[in-house]
Amino acid sequence: MTTLPVATPARKPASGAQQKLLAFASLIALLMFFSVASPNFLQTSNILAILQATSVNGVLAIAATLVIITGGIDLSVGTLMTFCAVMAGVILTNAGMPLPLGVVGAIAAGAICGTISGTLVAKMKIPPFIATLGMMLILKGLSLVISGTKPIYFNDTPGFSQISTGSLIGKIFPTVPVPNGVLILFIVALVIGYVLNRTVLGRYCFALGSNEEAVRLSGVNTDAWKIAIYALAGSICGIAGLIIASRLNSAQPALGLGYELDAIAAVVIGGTSLAGGRGSILGTMIGALIMAVLLNGLRVMSVAQEWQTVVTGAIIIAAVYADMLRRRRAAA
Amino acid sequence: MTQLVRMSGIDKHFPGVHALKSAQFDLVPGEVHALMGENGAGKSTLMKVLSGIYQPDGGTVEVSGESATINGPRAAQALGIGIIHQELALMNDLTVAQNIFIGREPRRSFGRLDEHRLNTDADAIFAQMKVQIDPRAEVRSLSVARQQMVEIAKALSFRSRILIMDEPTAALNEAETNELFAIIRRLKSEGVGVVYISHKMDEIRRISDRVTIMRDGAYVGTVHAADTPIETIISMMVGRDLQSVHVDIPDLTSAPVALEVRGLGRGRAIRDVSFNLKQGEILGFAGLMGAGRTEVARAIFGADPRDSGEIIVHGKSAMIRSPKDAVDAGIGYLSEDRKHFGLALGLDVRANIGMTSLARFSNAVGMLNEAGLEKTAKDYIAKLAIRTPSDRQEVRLLSGGNQQKIVIAKWLLRNCDILIFDEPTRGIDVGAKAEIYRLMQALAADGKAIIVISSELPEVLRLSHRIAVMCEGRLTGILPGGPATSQEEIMRLATVRQSAVEEATA
Say whether A218 and B103 touch across the interface (CB within 8 A): yes
Helix pair angle (A222-248, A180-198), 10° resolution? 170
pLDDT tens for each residue of A264-316: 999 998 888 888 888 999 999 999 999 999 888 888 888 888 888 888 888 88
At A325 the pLDDT is 78
Contacts A–B by Cβ distance under 8 A: 96
The helix (run of H) or strand (run of E) holding residue B44 is: helix B43-50
Nearest to B73 among A4, A209, A218 (CB): A218
In CATH, what number is assigned to the domain containing residue B189?
3.40.50.300
Query: Same structural domain for residues B280 and B392?
Result: no
User: How many CB atoms neighbour CB A43 within 10 A?
Assistant: 13
Nearest CA in chain A to B104: A220
Side chain identity at A64, as an amino acid letter?
A
Alpha-carbon gap, residue B424 to B443, rounded angstroms: 14
Nearest CA in chain A to B53: A217
Helices (H), chain A: 15-37, 44-69, 77-89, 99-122, 128-147, 162-165, 168-172, 180-198, 200-217, 222-248, 259-269, 281-300, 305-331
Chain B residues within 8 A of A17 when measuring between CB atoms: none
At A97 the pLDDT is 94
Chain B residues within 8 A of A10 when measuring between CB atoms: 137-138, 140-141
For residue B324, which of B454, B416, B424, B188 has the smallest C-alpha distance?
Answer: B416
At A317 the pLDDT is 87
For residue A230, which of A116, A140, A124, A125 has the smallest C-alpha distance?
Answer: A116
Query: Same structural domain for residues B188 and B71?
Result: yes
* 3-state class (DSSP) for residue B152: helix
Nearest to B141 among A3, A10, A209 (CB): A10
Number of domains within chain B: 3
Query: Same structural domain for residues B64 and B136?
Result: yes
pLDDT tens for each residue of B278-303: 999 999 999 887 788 999 999 999 98
CA distance A298 to chain B (A): 37
Say yes or no to pLDDT of B496 above 80: no
Which DSSP string corresponds to B175-241? HHHHHHHHHHHHHHHTT-EEEEE-S-HHHHHHH-SEEEEEETTEEEEEEESTTS-HHHHHHHHH-ST
CA distance B424 to chain A (A): 29
Alpha-carbon gap, residue B339 to B344, rounded angstroms: 8
Which DSSP string corresponds to B432-469? HHHHHHHHHHHHHHTT-EEEEE-S-HHHHHHH-SEEEE
- HSE (CB half, 13 Å, CA atoms) of B291? 28
* Low-confidence winner among A317-321, B137-141, B408-412 (lowest mean pLDDT): A317-321
Say whether A199 and B178 touch across the interface (CB within 8 A): no
Across the range B25-39, mean pLDDT stands at 90
- HSE (CB half, 13 Å, CA atoms) of A241? 36
Looking at the domain assignment, is residue A196 inside a domain?
A: yes
CA distance B181 to chain A (A): 10
Query: Same structural domain for residues B270 and B228?
Result: no
Say whether B102 and A207 touch across the interface (CB within 8 A): yes
Nearest to A220 among B102, B140, B141 (CB): B102
Alpha-carbon gap, residue B93 to B140, rounded angstroms: 6
How much of chain A, in percent, has pLDDT values that exceed 70? 92
Say whether A277 and B93 touch across the interface (CB within 8 A): yes
Residue B253's contacts (CB-CB under 8 Å, 6 or more residues apart) are none
Q: Are B154 and B99 in contact (CB under 8 A)?
A: yes
User: Which strands make up the sheet holding B331-334, listed edge to edge?
Assistant: B331-334, B418-422, B449-453, B282-287, B466-471, B474-480
For residue B47, which of B19, B66, B28 has the smallest C-alpha distance?
Answer: B19
Nearest CA in chain A to B75: A219
| Cβ–Cβ contact B144 with A under 8 A | no
In CATH, what number is assigned to the domain containing residue A223?
1.10.3470
Alpha-carbon gap, residue B429 to A130, rounded angstroms: 36
* Low-confidence winner among A107-116, B348-357, B425-434 (lowest mean pLDDT): B425-434
Query: Same structural domain for residues B324 and B372?
Result: no
How much of chain A, in percent, has pLDDT values that exceed 90? 61
pLDDT tens for each residue of A155-182: 989 899 999 988 998 888 888 889 999 9
Confidence of residue A330 (pLDDT cuts 50, 70, 90): low
Confidence of residue A142 (pLDDT cuts 50, 70, 90): very high
For residue A179, which of A160, A192, A162 has the smallest C-alpha distance?
Answer: A162
N-terminal to C-terminal alpha carbon distance within chain A = 31
For residue B134, which of A6, A194, A244, A11 has the smallest C-alpha distance?
Answer: A6
Confidence of residue A14 (pLDDT cuts 50, 70, 90): very low
Say yes or no to pLDDT of A323 above 80: no
Confidence of residue B245 (pLDDT cuts 50, 70, 90): low
At A16 the pLDDT is 55
How much of chain B, in percent, has pLDDT values that exceed 90? 43
| Cβ–Cβ contact B127 with A under 8 A | no
- HSE (CB half, 13 Å, CA atoms) of B155? 28
* Chain-centre distance for alpha carbon A315: 18
Say yes or no to pLDDT of B425 above 90: no
| Cβ–Cβ contact B90 with A under 8 A | yes
Looking at the domain assignment, is residue A14 inside a domain?
A: no
CA angle B217, B225, B129 (to 5 degrees): 95
For residue A229, which of A140, A114, A306, A128 has the smallest C-alpha distance?
Answer: A114
Confidence of residue B503 (pLDDT cuts 50, 70, 90): very low
Alpha-carbon gap, residue A234 to A276, rounded angstroms: 19
At A127 the pLDDT is 95
Sign of the torsion formed by the C-alpha atoms of B309, B314, B317 and B319: negative
Across the range B109-138, mean pLDDT stands at 90
At B86 the pLDDT is 72
Q: Which of B364, B393, B416 is the last residue of a domain?
A: B416
Nearest CA in chain B to A214: B89
Under DSSP, the state recorded for B103 is T
Q: Which residue has the higher pLDDT, B85 or A20?
A: B85
Looking at the domain assignment, is residue A21 inside a domain?
A: no
Nearest to A213 among B89, B98, B179 (CB): B89
Across the range A210-221, mean pLDDT stands at 85
pLDDT tens for each residue of B336-388: 877 777 788 888 899 889 888 888 888 877 788 889 999 999 999 998 888 88
- The Cα-based distances of B125 to A10, A69, A200, B134 in angstroms read 21, 29, 22, 12
Query: Same structural domain for residues B278 and B158?
Result: no
Confidence of residue B1 (pLDDT cuts 50, 70, 90): low
Say whether A7 and B146 touch across the interface (CB within 8 A): yes
Say whether B138 and A14 touch across the interface (CB within 8 A): yes
Q: Which domain holds residue B75?
A: 5-238
Nearest CA in chain B to A275: B93
Residue B29's contacts (CB-CB under 8 Å, 6 or more residues apart) are B1, B2, B4, B161, B191, B192, B193
Which DSSP string corresponds to B112-144? BB-HHHHHHHHHHHHHHHT----TTSBGGGS-H
Chain B residues within 8 A of A201 when measuring between CB atoms: 111
For residue A296, which of A68, A33, A88, A47 has the smallest C-alpha distance?
Answer: A47
Across the range A221-227, mean pLDDT stands at 94
Say whether A203 and B105 touch across the interface (CB within 8 A): yes
User: Which strands make up the sheet holding B308-313, listed edge to edge?
Assistant: B270-278, B257-266, B308-313, B316-317
Looking at the domain assignment, is residue A33 inside a domain?
A: no
Residues on chain A bordering chain B, Cβ-to-Cβ distance under 8 angstroms: 1-11, 14, 198-201, 203, 206-207, 209-211, 213-220, 277-278
Across the range B49-61, mean pLDDT stands at 93
Alpha-carbon gap, residue B216 to B220, rounded angstroms: 9
Across the range B237-261, mean pLDDT stands at 76
Sign of the torsion formed by the C-alpha atoms of A136, A137, A139 and A143: positive
Looking at the domain assignment, is residue A5 inside a domain?
A: no
| Cβ–Cβ contact B44 with A under 8 A | no
For residue B483, which of B467, B500, B505, B502 has the smallest C-alpha distance?
Answer: B467
| Cβ–Cβ contact B108 with A under 8 A | no
Q: Are B285 and B315 in contact (CB under 8 A)?
A: no
At A20 the pLDDT is 67
Looking at the domain assignment, is residue B22 inside a domain?
A: yes
Residue B505's contacts (CB-CB under 8 Å, 6 or more residues apart) are none
| Cβ–Cβ contact B89 with A under 8 A | yes
Across the range A51-74, mean pLDDT stands at 96
CA angle A66, A67, A73 (to 5 degrees): 145
- The Cα-based distances of A156 to A93, A179, B419 in angstroms read 7, 22, 79
Side chain identity at B349, as an amino acid letter?
V
Nearest to B89 among A10, A201, A214 (CB): A214
Say whether A198 and B85 touch across the interface (CB within 8 A): no
| Cβ–Cβ contact B207 with A under 8 A | no
Number of domains within chain A: 1
At B16 the pLDDT is 65
Confidence of residue B242 (pLDDT cuts 50, 70, 90): very low
Looking at the domain assignment, is residue A11 inside a domain?
A: no
Query: Same structural domain for residues B298 and B199?
Result: no
CA gyration radius for chain A?
21
- HSE (CB half, 13 Å, CA atoms) of B82? 21
Looking at the domain assignment, is residue B338 inside a domain?
A: no
Say yes or no to pLDDT of A1 above 50: no
CA distance B502 to chain A (A): 24
Looking at the domain assignment, is residue B400 inside a domain?
A: yes
**Which of A150-164, B193-207, B231-245 is predicted most confidently?**
A150-164
Q: Which domain holds residue A131?
A: 40-331
Alpha-carbon gap, residue A225 to A222, rounded angstroms: 5
Query: Same structural domain for residues B228 and B376?
Result: no
Strand partners, B224: B210
Q: Which of B238, B254, B285 is the last residue of a domain?
A: B238
Looking at the domain assignment, is residue A51 inside a domain?
A: yes
| Cβ–Cβ contact B185 with A under 8 A | no
Query: Same structural domain for residues B408 and B431?
Result: no
Alpha-carbon gap, residue B193 to B233, rounded angstroms: 22
Say whether B98 and A203 touch across the interface (CB within 8 A): yes
Query: Same structural domain for residues B200 and B304?
Result: no
CA angle B74, B80, B84 (to 5 degrees): 75
Alpha-carbon gap, residue A182 to A54, rounded angstroms: 8
Q: Which of B416, B444, B463 is the last residue of a domain?
A: B416
For residue B259, which of B418, B408, B411 has the smallest C-alpha distance?
Answer: B418
Looking at the domain assignment, is residue A95 inside a domain?
A: yes
Say whether B73 and A209 touch across the interface (CB within 8 A): no
Nearest to A215 among B91, B134, B140 (CB): B91
For residue A291, which of A259, A315, A310 has the smallest C-alpha distance?
Answer: A315
Query: Same structural domain for residues B384 and B490?
Result: no
Query: Same structural domain for residues B410 and B423?
Result: no
Say whether B141 and A6 touch across the interface (CB within 8 A): no
Say whether A5 and B132 touch across the interface (CB within 8 A): yes
CA angle B182, B183, B188 (to 5 degrees): 100
Looking at the domain assignment, is residue B491 inside a domain?
A: yes
Confidence of residue B240 (pLDDT cuts 50, 70, 90): low
Alpha-carbon gap, residue A66 to A276, rounded angstroms: 10
